[in-house]
Structure 1
Amino acid sequence: MAERIAVEAGLDNIKEHLSRHGYEVVGFEDGLHDAEAVVISGGDRDFLGFTEPHTGAPVITARGRSPEDILHDIRQRL
């Protein structure tokens, strides 16, 4: 089964890149709490009302980073 990654709306290039590399990509409304990693656009890491220890999943900020950078982070953290 593919690892599930929740990606914030608007990060379509990252969603497509992760999907091409075998990850199950979901939006926040479709399974944020079941995700093994969370990708956000940037800004406040606590904008969802929680941080990494609460979800148990690493939160990765996409601001200023390429889809390949995000993929590299996910592979290292999972």
Structure 2
Amino acid sequence: MARVGVEHSLTNISEALRDRGYDIVELRQESDARGCDACVISGLDSDVMGIANTVTQGSVIEANGLTAEEVCRHVEERTNLAR
């Protein structure tokens, strides 16, 4: 199953993805995203300073305004395309 990084504040999304069999990595710092097939972020503090460093080749999914189920669907769609 795909490896998914999830921002540490999104515990409901981590649990939903773990229940679906995804390997979850808690994102606390930039280096945690390395090797992830997808990353889920809250989007609350994205691009605050106008700096965008890329540390993963995987998809980045912004969870702001989405339910855990909607985020899971996005992850499934994007990780299935990568295979």
- Verify same fold: TM over 0.5: yes
Structure 1 residue runs of 5 or longer lacking an equivalent are none
Q: Distance in 2 between matches of 1:31 and 1:4?
A: 11
SS of aligned partner of 1:70 = helix
Structure 2 residue runs of 5 or longer lacking an equivalent are none
Letter in 2 for 1:8: E
Q: Paired residues, what number?
A: 75
The normalised TM-score by structure 1 is 0.81
Structure 2 counterparts to residues 58-73 of structure 1, below 5 A: 58-73=59-74
Superposition RMSD in Å: 2.2
Query: Which whole-Å deviations, capped at 9, do the CAs of 1:35-62 have from their partners, x for residues lacking one?
Result: 10000001454468424xx521100000
Q: Distance in 2 between matches of 1:10 and 1:28?
A: 9
Larger Rg: 2
SS of aligned partner of 1:55 = coil
Structure 2 counterparts to residues 1-78 of structure 1, below 5 A: 2-29=1-28, 31-43=32-44, 45-46=46-47, 49-51=52-54, 55-78=56-79
Q: Distance in 2 between matches of 1:26 and 1:69?
A: 19
The normalised TM-score by structure 2 is 0.77
Contact 1:38/1:59 (CA < 8 Å) preserved in 2?
Answer: yes
Q: Name the one with the larger helix percent.
A: 1
